[in-house]
Structure 1
Amino acid sequence: MEEHHLPNNHDPNAFDRPSVTVDVVILTLREGQLEALLVKRKEHPYLNYWSLPGGFVQAQESLDEAAARVLRQKAGLESVVGMEREGSYRYPVYLEQLYTFGDPGRDPRMRVISVAYYALVEASHIREVGEEIALFKLRLPEGESGVEIFDHRHKKYSLAFDHAEILGVALRRIRGKLEYTPIGFELLPEQFTLRQLQAVHETILQKRLNKDSFRRRMLSSGRLEPTGKFERGLGRPAELYRLRRAT
């Protein structure tokens, strides 16, 4: 095996060393609205501002390991990291690298590069903790790069750092992947109706979809598997489906 030796005069301090963090966008669907799980900062800068769960990458961990640690420590969620998980989009949550944010002025403390990840989580797995970890409603204004966030009283907040922009990039990425991957199924329970599936798509895309054409497209996609069960309620019982597992 070929060995690679450093020259004797190698000086690791000859180059600037930016710090690296990971920030995790955690999205869920609640009461027909897309929401993000945010944490309140307990230190400067941006003391008492809401922010994405994040943290500095430790010396001996990979980026994926750092993102999984942040998800576990700050949101109580276990994760599976990877690009595709067709047919098994279920808890533990799916975590995917989103984008790298490296504007020199994004953090007033020092030069910090953030590698952002995103996770879509079914609402029953989300835990809010008092006034420190909470869900916020999202709105992506037309033509804007960042999102706006609102609490359950419709009060608007500003986000720390460039986290509004990170959330905006995450929403656009999810919209773009919705049609060709089963990513939207992460926001649904194990068994769901076509009505629930359409509601997920409409919420993410922020537009109404034709019911008949949507159902035809989903049923012909090969991704759905009937369970043989029905949702009971007012009116005609709705058939329950699940995501077809990869073979």
Structure 2
Amino acid sequence: MFYSYQYSRPALTVDCVIFGLDGENTLKVMLIKRKLPTFEGEWALPGGFVRIEESVDAAAKRELKEETGIENVFLEQLYTFGEVERDPRERVVTVAYYALINLQDYAIHADTDASDAQWFATDSLPPLAFDHGQIVQIAIARLQGKVKYEPIGFELLPQKFTLSQLQKLYETVLGQALDKRNFRKKILRMDLLVELDEMQTGVAHRAARLYQFDEQKYQQLREKGFNFEI
């Protein structure tokens, strides 16, 4: 049955802020270069319009895969952006997502309406299309807040890591130095790391012990009210 709505309906899009940590402990965001108008040839977050038959979650996963080749990552809703003139084409509301990945696990490539895809350091981003600069800054603030009370930072690390790598991760995300002794005491006291019978290889300095994050144990403790706090 045809139904005519009394009010005009805005278009709905999704945008994805994907964070990664490179080998030099630089926090990066993945951007695509737009192939189509508007803002053709400019850098932007991967994303696009939500199809009428799909959810916003499904649209975010689809757009991320189509434009960058990244898939099977956990995306969490960040915020809804609905300023009236945020898109010069028409009235558009976007639901933004963010995710954290290990750069070494994903080879990105541009596709569909993206002519290029690259990683950029969060402190040296190029001018971004639409209001994507604002979206990135809000995503960084969310990451800095959430990494303190949920172990999401482990998503940025290799599966096996050293305590120094873990500390550097938190220092990079939070933008501040942490006392080595206090950090290690706090993180080890949580008993969420599995000490491996393995050492670093191929390093110029003294090889350090490798660890793994025990996701299953964390979930069990969380159900009992465990409080993760850095």
What is the TM-score of this pair, normalised by structure 1?
Answer: 0.81
- Output the aligned Cα RMSD: 1.8
Residue matched to 1:18: 10
Q: Deviations over 1:64-95 (max 9, x none)?
A: 1111111221221222xxxxxxxxxxxxx221
Q: Deviations over 1:20-65 (max 9, x none)?
A: 0000001111122111111111122111110000010011111111
Residue matched to 2:198: 229
Pairwise CA distance, 1:109: 0.5
Q: How does 1:82-231 map to 2 (within 5 A)?
A: 93-129=73-109, 132-139=116-123, 149=125, 157-231=126-200
Q: Does 1:62 align with 2:32?
A: no
For residue 122 of structure 2, give the secondary structure of its aligned residue in structure 1. strand
8 Å CA contact retained: 2:70, 2:108: no
Supply the distance in 1 between the matched residues of 2:150 and 2:192 (Cα, whole angstroms).
Answer: 10
Pairwise CA distance, 1:235: 4.4
8 Å CA contact retained: 2:80, 2:96: yes
Residue matched to 2:19: 27
Question: Against the structure 1 CA distance between its residues 65 and 138, is the aligned structure 2 distance closer, same or farther, given a 3 Å change threshold?
Answer: same
Q: Deviations over 1:138-190 (max 9, x none)?
A: 12xxxxxxxx50xxxxxxx2100000000001100011011111110011011
Equivalent AA in structure 1 for residue 145 of structure 2: G
Q: Does 1:49 align with 2:19?
A: no
Supply the distance in 2 between the matched residues of 1:48 and 1:119 (Cα, whole angstroms).
Answer: 25
Residue matched to 1:72: 65
Aligned length, in residue pairs: 211
Question: Which ranges in structure 2 are unaligned for 5 or more consecutive residues?
Answer: 218-230
Supply the distance in 2 between the matched residues of 1:37 and 1:70 (Cα, whole angstroms).
Answer: 13
More displaced 10-residue stretch of structure 1: 221-230 or 93-102 = 221-230
8 Å CA contact retained: 2:67, 2:109: no
Supply the distance in 2 between the matched residues of 1:78 and 1:176 (Cα, whole angstroms).
Answer: 25
Equivalent AA in structure 2 for residue 22 of structure 1: V
Pairwise CA distance, 1:236: 3.6
Give the % identical residues: 43
8 Å CA contact retained: 2:68, 2:109: no
8 Å CA contact retained: 1:128, 1:135: no
8 Å CA contact retained: 2:69, 2:109: no
Residue matched to 1:238: 208
Pairwise CA distance, 1:234: 4.0
Q: Deviations over 1:73-125 (max 9, x none)?
A: 1221222xxxxxxxxxxxxx221111100001100111100000011110113
8 Å CA contact retained: 2:43, 2:129: yes
Supply the distance in 1 between the matched residues of 2:37 and 2:64 (Cα, whole angstroms).
Answer: 22
Residue matched to 2:226: none
Question: Which ranges in structure 1 are unaligned for 5 or more consecutive residues?
Answer: 1-7, 80-92, 140-147, 150-156
User: Normalized per residue, which structure has more helix?
Assistant: 2
